[in-house]
Structure 1
Amino acid sequence: MNCRENKLNSSYFHRVNQENSEVPRDQSAQQHQTQLDSIFMVCICTTTTFTSVLFTILSVNIVTFVKNELKKIHKVLSPDYPECLESQIEDEEVLDNENEEQRRSSREGFLKITLNFLRKMNQEELDILLSSVCLMGLLNSTSQREGLERSMMNMRSDRLKTAFRKPNRQETTIRQEDIFKPTPGKDNPIRTVMTKGVAGIGKTVLTQKFTLDWAEEKANQDIKLTFPFTFRELNMLKEKKFSLVELVHHFFTETKEAGICTLEEFQVVFIFDGLDECRLPLDFHNTEILTDVTESTSVDVLLTNLIRGKLLPSARLWITTRPAAASQIPPECVDMVTEVRGFTDPQKEEYFSKRFCDGEQASRIISHIKTSRSLHIMCHIPVFCWITSTVLEDALKTREGGELPKTLTEMYIHFLVVQSKLKNVKYDGRTEIDPHWNPESRRMIESLGKLAFEQLQKGNLIFYESDLIDCGINIRVASVYSGVFTQIFKVERGLYPDKVFCFVHLSVQEFLAALHVHLTFVNSGVNLLLGNKSASWWCKLSRGKSELTFFYQSAVDKALQSPNGHLDLFIRFLLGLSLQTNQNLLRGLLKKAEGSLRTNRETVQYIKKKIEETSSAEKSINLFHCLNELNDRSLVEEIQQSLRSGSLSTHKLSPTQWSALVFILLSSEKDLDVFDLKTFSASEEALLRLLPLVKASKKAL
C-alpha cells in the first residue's frame, strides 16, 4: 500500500474502533472474529476501489498530457508555425502553476519516446526535424533548453550523419515480368509488391503488360491464375458482401464456370491497381481476422486480410498507387517497393522525334521544352508529353513563329483552347477562327471545373453517379461532356456495368479546379478556399490587404497546409492564372480581367517570405515553381550568378538562398549521380533543406 492508502485504512480502523467501543467485553470470540473479517473485507474493497479510481485518473492525466504535447509538436512542425506561437504561449501560461523541473523532465522523456516511435515508423525526416526544433528550444522555455540540448546533442549529431551518409548504391531496373522474383542475394520469396508513381506515369500500362504477357504464355508460366482488379471497380461493392472465391467469381465468371471453388491449390496473383482511388475503409489495426476463402464479409475486410497475409497467404499481390496514398498499407505488409519513373531525358527526345515527322519541327519543340525547366521536368510523365505535343503542334500552326508557352499554366490554358476549338469544329459545325468560348462550351467548362475542385478537395480522382449529382451533373450530361471533350473528360467501363468518369490526367483536374476557383472569385467575388468562413472572419485575417491580394495569399497558405502535397499543382495553376497575359487567353470565360502588377508583386514577396519560413524542402521547391508561374526568377538568378562567378559562399546563405540553391541543383539537366556534401559548409537547418538532393542522388558523400 502507498501512504495515502495507509492513511485511509488507519482512518477507517479508528472509526470502527470507536463504533465498537460500546460492545460488551464478554462478546464471543467467534462474533469478534466475524467482525474483524468483515472489517478486513471492507478495507480490501475500499483499497481496491481507491486504486481503480486512482489509475483511471492517472490514465486520463497521461492521455491529456500526451495529446497536449503532440499538439504542440504538430504546431511547431506545421508550415504556419510562426502564426501558432501566440496560442502556444497561452498554453504555457496555463501550466505556470506546475513545478518547472517536473514539467521539463516529463517533456524531455516524452520527446525521447516520440523520436523513438518516429524512427520505428521510418519517418527519418520528421525525426531529424523534431530533433532540430528541440535543439532550437522551440518546444521548451528558455530555462528548459540547456538540459534538453545536453540530452539530445549526441543523438542529433548521429542522426544527421546517418541521414546524409548514403551508401554507393547501384539502382536496379526491374522488368515487369520479373516483379515477383527475389532480388539478388536474397532468397526470401516476394509475396506483396507495391509500385509507386505519379498520375499518368504508366503504372496501369505496366500491370496490363504483365497480364498480357502471362496470358500469351510469354512469361511467368509458374503462375496458374492472374486476377487483375482496379479499385475503381471494387469501390462499387462497398456495401456488399463476398467471400474471396465469390469476389473472383463475380468479376471473372469463367472461374465459376470452370468449377473453381478454392484457390489454395493454385499459384495465384492478385493485381490491385490504383490504391489512390480506393474509397474502401482499409483498417489494418481493427479489422477482424479472416482465414477462410469461402467465408463472406465486406470487401474492405477481404482486402485487408489478403494484404496482411491472413487470407490465402500463398497468393502473390501487386498493388499500384500514387506516392501520397502508399501509407495506407503498413510497411510490414509489403515485401518490395518499386517506382515507375517515366521517361528519361533521352526518352523524352525520342517521344517528340517520333511524334513529329518534321525533324526541324521536332528539334524546335525539344529545344523549347529544355528552356523551361518546369516543362522539361513534367515531361517525364508520358501523358504530359502528349498534352505538350498537342499544344505546341497547334501553336506552331497558328502563331507563325510567335512565342511558345513556357509555363505550366500557359500550356494548360492553350490545351483547353485547343480542345474547345476542336469541339466547335467537330460537333458544332463552326470554323477554327470562330470564338471558341460559346455559351455551351462555357457551361461545360464551368460544370467540369466545379466537379474538379469539389472532388479534388475530397481527394477523389474518379467519379461515380453520386459525385456527379452532388455537383449538379447527371449521368446523361456527363456522358455528353465525355463525348464532346474526349481529351479532357472521359467515361470508363470496366468489368462492372456502371459508368465511371475521370479526367484524362490528374493535372487536368487540378488545372480545371484552379480555373473554377479563379473564375468564381473574379466573376462573383466568392472565395471558395475560405469555405463557410464569415465576412468578419475574412476582415480579421486579411489585415487591410486588398481582396485580390488576400485571395492569392490565402491560397498559398492552404496549399502549404496540405499534408500530402495534393494541392501543389493546383496552387501553381491558380497563381499562374493571376497574370494578365494568361487572363487574356481566357476572354469569354472571364467576365472581367482581374489582376495588377501591384498584386503580383505582393504575391511574389509573400511567397518569398514563406520560402524562408518553411522548413519542408519539398514545399519550398514547389513555392519556387509558383514563382516560375508568376514569371519571377530573381532568387534563382541571384544564386545562378553567384555560381557562375564562383563567389557563392555557403557560410553566408540565408534559408531562402539555400532553398534556391537546392531548386537549381534539382532542376539541372545533369543527373545527380554523386552529391558531395563536403562542398557545402552548412548549418543544421541548411542540411535539412539539402535532404531532397540526397534523395535524388545515387551516392552522397
Structure 2
Amino acid sequence: MNGSVSPKRLNSFDEKTVSHANQERPGSPVPSCVSLKSDRSMGLPIHFKGGLNNNQEAPLDSPDSPVSSMVSMKSERSMGLPIHFQGDFKNEEIPRPDPPVPSHVSMKSDRSMGLPIHFKGDFDDDFQMKTTSPESTHDTHGPPIIPLDAEAVEATKSHLRKKFQYLLEGTATQVQTRLFNEIYTDLYITEGGEGEVNKEHEIRLKETASRKAEAEDIAIKCTDIFKPLPGQCKPLRTVLTKGVAGIGKTVSVQKFILDWADGKANQDVQFIFPLAFRELNLITEKNLSLLQLLQHLFREQKDIPLLRIEQHKVVFIFDGLDEYRSLLDFHNGKSVSNVEDPVSVDMLLTNLIKGNLLPSALLWITTRPGAADKIPFECVDRVTEIQGFSDREKKEYFRKRISDDNLAKRAIAHLKSSRSLYIMCHIPVLCWISATVLERMFSEASSGEIPKSLTQMYIHFLIIQMDIRKGKYTDAEEEMIFRLGKLAFQQLEKGNLIFYEEDLRECGIDITEASVYSGVCTQIFREESALYMGKVFSFVHLSIQEFLAAVHVHVSFTIKQTNVLRPDHTGPLIYDLHKVAVDLALKSVDGHLDLFLRLLLGLSLESNQRNLDSLLKNAGETPLDTQETVRYIKQKIDEGWTSNKMFNLLHCLNELNDTSMVKDIQEALIEGRLPWPCETIPSASQLASLMYLLLTAEEGRYDLHLNQIIKTDECVVKLFPVIKAIKQARLGWCHITFKSCEQLGLVLTQSSSLIRELDLSGNKIQDYGVEMLSRGLGNPKCKLKQLKLTNCSLTERSCECLASVLSTGSSLRELNLSGNRIQDAGVELLTDGLKSTCCTLKVLRLHNCGLTDESCFYLAAALRSNPSHLRELHLSCNTLGESGEKLLEALRKDPHCSLKSLTTKPQKSWCWDQQ
C-alpha cells in the first residue's frame, strides 16, 4: 500500500532497542469483555483531554491504567481476499510494501495476556533456577540448580493477582474499574472442527450457527484446555483454539493465567509464557535461541538467561496466529532440540509445535478461523472453538454488565424481540455494544426510539461514544468522524484492519492534534504500540470499521454527490449508489461485504438519517426514496443466488424496514399451515423467505416439518442453512434422490451442524445415496444419533457401507432400514459392523426386509461377539422360522447379553415406520 511506514526491524539488539523494551509497564492488566488487550500491547494509552503524553509513564500499580479493548482485530490473512470496490474483484492482494504488521487482530502482545512471570526467586517450591555469573551462561553443562521456597512463590502469585484482577471499562475520562470475576461470563468452548477453515464473514458464521451453544457437545472450560475429555486417553500437548473477532479468545487466556496465579487451577504448571505472533513478526531476521527469544521478549525477567526451562512444566501461549506474516514451514528446515541453539524465529516456532524442541512443554495457540490451516492437523492434539455466549450466558452477561436489574431485564426482553440483534449477541463484543446502548437509552426518560435494527444500534452506539462531553460536540469532532469514515473505507477496500501513522495522515488525521483525542473515544478507535515498533491503529471491531465505512460512502453521496464505490458511475438517485453496492456485495469473496451493505442501506431510512444528522450536520436533510432499491433486491433474490447471499439480502430488506416478502409466509407458519399450495414447488424467493424466518425465529416458535416444504433436490440445497440448524431433519417422502445425499453427508461433518436425527424415508436415494451419505457418517466430526432409511430402494450394497460406518466408532445409536430388500446377504454384511468393538449402536430396525432364519443366525453371532451394545432388535414382517426366533429369544433372556427388546411379530409401530 502506498505510503506505508515500515517498522524498525530487529536487525541487532542495540542499546536503544533494549532501552525501549525495558520501559516500565503501566499498571493494570488488560481490561475488557472480550479480547482483552493489555497496556503492553497498547503502549501508552490514548488520552483525550490532558493525561499522559508520549514520554510519560503510568505508575506501575495505578488503578486507572489504560483502557482495554473489547475485541480482537485479526489480520488480512484471515479475511481471505481483500475487498475491491471499484470494478470486479481480483485474486491478487494489494501490495503493502514492507508493512509493519498487517493484521486485524487483537493487537496483543505478550503483555496482552497478562504480565509475564518474574523469575527473581518467586516460583513454586519445586522450581529450580541457575545460579551463575553472566560469564558462565554459555556453559553447555550448566551451573548447579537451586530450588525456590514456597514463600517466594506467594510473592509472585500476589503480584499476578494484582495485575489481572481488574477489567477497565469506559472512556479515557470516565474509567470504571471492575473486578474480572465480577464481569467475567463463561464462554462456550467446544472440541472439534479439525481441518475445517470457514472464511465466511464472521458475523455470518455466528448467525448460521446461532444455536450451536445449545447442542449436545461437551463444553470445555478454558482452565481445562489441556485436560482430556472423559474417554480420551491421549495426552494433550498442543491445543489450537479458533474464534472470530470479539468472541473472547484473549479473555479466555486471561482467565487461564489469573486462575493459575490465584491457585485455582493448573498448579502443576511452573511457568507461563504468553507470546504474541504480531511481535514475533518483528524479529524474523534475527537468529536466536529459545532462551534468547524469551530474554528479549521478557526484558524485565533478568533471570531468563539463568533458567533451565527444559526441567520444568511450561505453558507457551501463542496468541493471534492469523497475524503472523511468515509462512510456517513444517516440512523443511533444521531440526532443533536444544534451547540454546540459535535459529530463525520461524524454525523455533515450527520445532516447538512439532515437539522437537521442549517436547514436555504445553502449547496453546489462538487464531481466527481463516488462519487455522497454517498448522498441519497432525501437529495438533486438540482443536477447540469458542462459540461465544449461549442464550443463558447472554442473560448472565447483561445482568453483570448492567447494574440495575430492571434495566437488564428490559434490555434482554428488547433484544429477544429483535431476533437478528439477539442472534448477533453470541459474539461478546456485540453483546457489549448492545448493553452500552440499551442501558443508556432505557435509563433516560426521553431517549428516542429504541434500536430495533443493526444500523440503529450502531448509530446510537456512535452517538453515545461521541457524546462524552454532554453536548459539547464540536465542529472539529464532526470533521474527525468524516476522516475516520474515510480511513475505515479506504482500509476496508484494501483488506486492512490495522493501519499506521502514514495511513492516518493520508486521510487528514494528525495524531498529535488534541482534536483527535478530545472526541474520539477509545472504545471506537485504538492507538497501540508494540515492542520494537511504532504506533498501530485500529477500530475496536471489524463491524465498527464497516459501519464507519458505510457512513463515509453514504455521506459522500448525500452531501458531496460522489459515488465513492464507483466514481465513474454517475446518477442523482440513492438507488444509483445502492445498486452498485448490492452488485459488489453479491460478487464479494466469502461475503465480506455483507455487513457493510446492510449498514449502508440502513442509513437511508428517514429515522436513521435524523439520528445521523445529530452527529453530522446536513447528513440527513434530503428525503431518500428507497423503493427502487427494495425492488432491485427482490429481483436479485428471485434470481436464486446462494443461500447465504439471499439470507443477507433479506437482512438488507429488514434494515430498509420492508417485510413484505416474509409477511405472508410468516402468517401461514403462525397459523400452522403451509405457506404455499401443497402441490406447488416453491420459488427461490419463497424458499429464501422461509429460510430467513426459520433461522431468525426463536427455537420452537414454528411447528413445521421440512418434508411438508421440500419437494425436490433443489429445495434441499436451498434450505441447507435451515437443515443444519435444526436437530430433527425430517426429510421423509420429499421426492429427493441420491443427489441430495452427497451434500447432506458434507453437512453432517460441519462443526456448525446441529443435526442429531435424520429421516430420509420414502426417498429413492438407492445404494449410491447411502454410499455418499456414509462418507459423512464415518467422519469423527459427525454427531448424528438416529438415521431412518425406510423404503429407500436399498439392497445389500448399502449394508456394506453402513457396516463400515459402524466399525469406525460412529455416533449412530439407532438405525432403521425397514422396507428395503436387503435380505440375508445384507444382514450378513451388516453384522460385520455389529461385531466391531467400536460399534455403539443401540437400536436396529429391520422390518419387512426379506429376511429368513439365516439372518437370525448372523445377528445371534454378532450379539455373542459384542454383547455390550445392541439393546433393541426389530424384525417383524419377515419370513422367520421358529428356530431363528427361538435362538434370538434365548439370547434376549441371557443375562450376559445386552438385548432387552426383541420384536418378530407385526406391531402397530410398523405402520408408523412406513410413514
Shift of 1:593: 3.9
| Mapped pair 1:526 → 2:571 | no
Shift of 1:564: 3.4
What corresponds to 1:347 in structure 2?
Answer: 393
> How far apart are the structure 2 equivalents of 1:287 and 1:552?
50
Aligned residue runs from structure 1 range 223-234, under 5 A: 223-234=269-280
What corresponds to 1:567 in structure 2?
Answer: 593
What corresponds to 1:699 in structure 2?
Answer: 756
SS of the aligned residue for 2:592 comes to: coil
What corresponds to 2:325 in structure 1?
Answer: 280
Determine if contact 1:487/1:504 at 8 Å carries over to the other structure.
yes
SS of the aligned residue for 1:490 comes to: strand
After superposition, give the CA deviation of every residue in 1:8-67 in whole Å (9 maximum; x if it has no partner): xxxxxxxxxxxxxxxxxxxxxxxxxxxxxxxxxxxxxxxxxxxxxxxxxxxxxxxxxxxx
SS of the aligned residue for 2:318 comes to: strand
In terms of mean alpha carbon deviation, does 257-266 or 446-455 score higher?
257-266
In terms of mean alpha carbon deviation, does 372-381 or 226-235 score higher?
226-235
Determine if contact 1:343/1:381 at 8 Å carries over to the other structure.
yes
- Alignment partner of 2:681 out of 652, 671, 680: 652
Number of residue equivalences: 522
What corresponds to 2:479 in structure 1?
Answer: 443
What corresponds to 2:538 in structure 1?
Answer: 502
What corresponds to 2:692 in structure 1?
Answer: 663
After superposition, give the CA deviation of every residue in 1:600-620 in whole Å (9 maximum; x if it has no partner): 222222223333445433333
Determine if contact 1:272/1:318 at 8 Å carries over to the other structure.
yes
- Alignment partner of 2:239 out of 193, 203, 216: 193
Instruction: Name the amino acid aligned to 1:172.
Output: I
Aligned residue runs from structure 1 range 248-327, under 5 A: 248-253=294-299, 257-260=303-306, 263-276=309-322, 278-284=323-329, 288-292=333-337, 293-309=339-355, 311-327=357-373
Determine if contact 1:213/1:219 at 8 Å carries over to the other structure.
yes
SS of the aligned residue for 1:253 comes to: coil
After superposition, give the CA deviation of every residue in 1:145-174 in whole Å (9 maximum; x if it has no partner): xxxxxxxxxxxxxxxxxxxxx9x9831100
> How far apart are the structure 2 equivalents of 1:286 and 1:675?
52
- Alignment partner of 1:206 out of 240, 252, 262: 252
Aligned residue runs from structure 1 range 549-568, under 5 A: 549-568=575-594
When residues 311 and 686 of structure 1 are mapped into structure 2, their CA distance, relative to the original with a 3 A threshold, is farther
RMSD: 3.8
- Alignment partner of 1:420 out of 446, 466, 469: 466
When residues 347 and 122 of structure 1 are mapped into structure 2, their CA distance, relative to the original with a 3 A threshold, is closer
Determine if contact 2:328/2:375 at 8 Å carries over to the other structure.
no
> How far apart are the structure 2 equivalents of 1:392 and 1:647?
37
Determine if contact 1:324/1:564 at 8 Å carries over to the other structure.
no
Shift of 1:478: 9.0
Structure with the larger helix share: 1
SS of the aligned residue for 1:462 comes to: coil
Shift of 1:240: 4.9
Determine if contact 2:197/2:372 at 8 Å carries over to the other structure.
no
After superposition, give the CA deviation of every residue in 1:217-236 in whole Å (9 maximum; x if it has no partner): 33223333321122343344
| Mapped pair 1:688 → 2:733 | no
When residues 265 and 676 of structure 1 are mapped into structure 2, their CA distance, relative to the original with a 3 A threshold, is farther
Q: Percent identity?
A: 50
Instruction: Name the amino acid aligned to 1:420.
Output: M
Determine if contact 2:195/2:372 at 8 Å carries over to the other structure.
no
> How far apart are the structure 2 equivalents of 1:231 and 1:123?
20
| Mapped pair 1:460 → 2:496 | yes
Relative to the length of structure 1, the TM-score reads: 0.66
Instruction: Name the amino acid aligned to 1:291.
Output: V
Determine if contact 2:321/2:365 at 8 Å carries over to the other structure.
yes
> How far apart are the structure 2 equivalents of 1:414 and 1:176?
34
Determine if contact 1:201/1:381 at 8 Å carries over to the other structure.
yes
SS of the aligned residue for 1:229 comes to: strand
Shift of 1:595: 6.2
- Alignment partner of 1:625 out of 651, 659, 672: 651
In terms of mean alpha carbon deviation, does 256-265 or 515-524 score higher?
256-265
| Mapped pair 1:182 → 2:225 | no
What corresponds to 1:476 in structure 2?
Answer: 512
Q: Where does structure 2 lack aligned partners over 5 or more consecutive residues? A: 1-87, 90-193, 201-211, 725-751, 759-915
> How far apart are the structure 2 equivalents of 1:479 and 1:174?
46
Instruction: Name the amino acid aligned to 1:450.
Output: K
Determine if contact 1:270/1:317 at 8 Å carries over to the other structure.
yes
> How far apart are the structure 1 equivalents of 2:515 and 2:310?
42
Shift of 1:208: 1.0
Determine if contact 1:280/1:300 at 8 Å carries over to the other structure.
no
Shift of 1:205: 0.5
Relative to the length of structure 2, the TM-score reads: 0.51
> How far apart are the structure 2 equivalents of 1:514 and 1:367?
29
> How far apart are the structure 2 equivalents of 1:605 and 1:216?
60
Determine if contact 2:681/2:711 at 8 Å carries over to the other structure.
no
Determine if contact 1:291/1:312 at 8 Å carries over to the other structure.
no
Shift of 1:514: 1.5
- Computing the radius of gyration over CA atoms, which structure comes out larger, 1 or 2? 1
Q: Where does structure 1 lack aligned partners over 5 or more consecutive residues? A: 1-82, 85-119, 127-165, 426-431, 540-544
Determine if contact 1:419/1:485 at 8 Å carries over to the other structure.
yes
> How far apart are the structure 2 equivalents of 1:301 and 1:547?
57
- Alignment partner of 1:640 out of 666, 671, 687: 666
After superposition, give the CA deviation of every residue in 1:196-247 in whole Å (9 maximum; x if it has no partner): 2232221111011112222333322333332112234334445555443322
- Alignment partner of 1:487 out of 516, 523, 528: 523
Aligned residue runs from structure 1 range 27-176, under 5 A: 170-176=216-222
When residues 305 and 465 of structure 1 are mapped into structure 2, their CA distance, relative to the original with a 3 A threshold, is farther
After superposition, give the CA deviation of every residue in 1:287-308 in whole Å (9 maximum; x if it has no partner): 6455355454554454455445
What corresponds to 1:391 in structure 2?
Answer: 437
After superposition, give the CA deviation of every residue in 1:439-459 in whole Å (9 maximum; x if it has no partner): 111122122222222333344
Instruction: Name the amino acid aligned to 1:352.
Output: F
SS of the aligned residue for 2:565 comes to: helix
SS of the aligned residue for 1:188 comes to: coil
After superposition, give the CA deviation of every residue in 1:536-592 in whole Å (9 maximum; x if it has no partner): xx47xxxxx756323212222323333333332222111111222212222262545
Determine if contact 1:604/1:627 at 8 Å carries over to the other structure.
yes
When residues 254 and 395 of structure 1 are mapped into structure 2, their CA distance, relative to the original with a 3 A threshold, is closer
When residues 464 and 393 of structure 1 are mapped into structure 2, their CA distance, relative to the original with a 3 A threshold, is same
> How far apart are the structure 2 equivalents of 1:318 and 1:688?
38
> How far apart are the structure 2 equivalents of 1:523 and 1:377?
34
What corresponds to 1:9 in structure 2?
Answer: none
SS of the aligned residue for 1:486 comes to: coil
Determine if contact 1:192/1:317 at 8 Å carries over to the other structure.
yes
What corresponds to 1:606 in structure 2?
Answer: 632
- Alignment partner of 1:363 out of 409, 418, 423: 409
Shift of 1:680: 4.4
Determine if contact 1:519/1:590 at 8 Å carries over to the other structure.
no
Shift of 1:421: 1.8
In terms of mean alpha carbon deviation, does 218-227 or 294-303 score higher?
294-303
